[in-house]
Amino acid sequence: MTTPRIANPPHIVTLVLLAGIGALSMNIFLPSLPGMAEYFAADYALIQLAISAYLGVIAVLQLIIGPLSDRYGRRPVMLGSLVIFCLATLGCLLSTTIETFLIFRFVQAAVAAGIVLSRAIVRDMVAPDKAASMIGYVTMGMSLVPMIGPIIGGWLDSLFGWQSTFVALLVFGVAVLLIAWRDLGETNMDPSDSFTEQFSAYPELIRARRFWGYALTAAFASGAYFGFLGGAPFVASELLGLNSAQVGMYFMAPAVGYLIGNFLSGRYASQVGLNGMMAAGGIVATMGAALALVLFGVGLEHPMSLFGSIALIGIGNGLTLPSANAGIVSVRPRLAGSASGLGGALMIGGGAAVAAFTGSLLSMESGAWPLLIVMLVASGLSILTTLYVIRRARTVGDLD
């Protein structure tokens, strides 16, 4: 299969930044959550909506962003979303009540365009096998952002307060907007005739069983990580006694793991194949979750028992997600934007549900057990859905 020649394709660094700003907006202020709850005089469960409900809004937006980009092009949708994100970040920074903050926080979810469209743009530019490798390299570079994000956030919070993390987000958002304006050429060479045409394509995607296999694999794999995002700040600060700067440092562990997994994915995906990489990733992630459960079970309740084990989940996700995402947008190549949006909605929406569920279960009485069990179950389910994809591929090949 050939791909159309694109006059001004974006540099890979631009794609990394577009995807990275979405990741940064999720985790830079994680070390600040306990302090923000105190500042706004709100329960942790309420301030945690800045993560779980935010992910839910991102999931819904991805259903719209994909078809919009298929109809009107990747460039205008991406630039408009970045403008909205920057304005909403300013609103978060100036908020004085938890209600106002959460409203602007949810509007910030427009940055989901970077997550959706970086994948669709890659698929516009290259064929499926190469797409898996390129997405691996994009997400490998992107993983540097969440690696340093919590560190920067914890450091800024300890020195200047939680508002400083949103100043950093605003500066980064404006910088990425300017870079995208100059470098992001249009890659959608075959736009659809109407916006509603793309929504009418969703039933075709829904009927494709391999699409569901890839999408659910991505959803369960990322669910383990989003469950971690929903529960780890509480476990780290309240149960393990870490301060915001220490929390930021330990949050490097899953990001380093993800970086390693992405590198391996970029290096070997075209040789091993999408399904083989997903299977390997699911096994590694499940081993990491099981290790954390065993260490806490024998009484080793140390930060490294949690974060060191989560590094394995990061490696597993780094192996799984590039191939799962490449599969999502390759089942129906002419619907790459819509497939990326729907697949991303399932992935992020599932992650939001897992994060909210995990956060609601955690308390001083429960300890870390709800978090550990949720991560183990989610990682295990990603193996099962990968096995379904493999079985389906052997049965009907690429026909569904």
In a domain, 6, yes or no: no
Q: Determine whether 1 is exposed, middle or buried from the number of CB atoms within 10 Å of its CB (0-12, 13-18, 19+).
A: exposed
Question: Can you tell me the distance from the alpha carbon of 92 to that of 87, in angstroms, rounded to the nearest whole number?
Answer: 9
Report the first-to-last Cα separation within the chain, whole angstroms: 17
Look up residue 56 and give its two tokens. 């839910």
Report the 10 Å Cβ neighbour count for 189: 12
Question: Can you tell me the distance from the alpha carbon of 249 to that of 325, in angstroms, rounded to the nearest whole number?
Answer: 29
In a domain, 330, yes or no: yes
Question: Can you tell me the distance from the alpha carbon of 248 to that of 145, in angstroms, rounded to the nearest whole number?
Answer: 13
Diameter of the chain measured on Cα atoms: 61
In a domain, 299, yes or no: yes
In a domain, 2, yes or no: no
In a domain, 1, yes or no: no
Tell me the chain's radius of gyration from C-alpha atoms: 20
The pLDDT score that the predictor gives to residue 91 is 95
Question: Can you tell me the distance from the alpha carbon of 211 to that of 342, in angstroms, rounded to the nearest whole number?
Answer: 10
Look up residue 105 and give its two tokens. 């926080």
In a domain, 5, yes or no: no
In a domain, 21, yes or no: yes
Question: Can you tell me the distance from the alpha carbon of 77 to that of 62, in angstroms, rounded to the nearest whole number?
Answer: 12
Residues contacting residue 55 through CB under 8 Å, at least 6 positions apart? 26, 226, 348, 349, 351, 352, 355
Residues of the domain holding 150: 12-396
Buried b (16+ CB within 10 A) or exposed e, 141-168: bbbbbbbebbbbbbbbbbeeebbbbbeb
pLDDT in tens, 295-309: 999 988 888 899 988
The pLDDT score that the predictor gives to residue 387 is 94
Residues of the chain with pLDDT under 50: 1-4
Report the 10 Å Cβ neighbour count for 273: 16
Question: Can you tell me the distance from the alpha carbon of 152 to that of 296, in angstroms, rounded to the nearest whole number?
Answer: 29
The Cα-based distances of 314 to 18, 130, 281, 288, 291 in angstroms read 21, 22, 9, 9, 14
In a domain, 7, yes or no: no
Report the 10 Å Cβ neighbour count for 19: 26
CATH number at residue 333: 1.20.1250.20
Q: Please count the structural domains in the chain.
A: 1
Cβ contact 339:192 at 8 Å = no
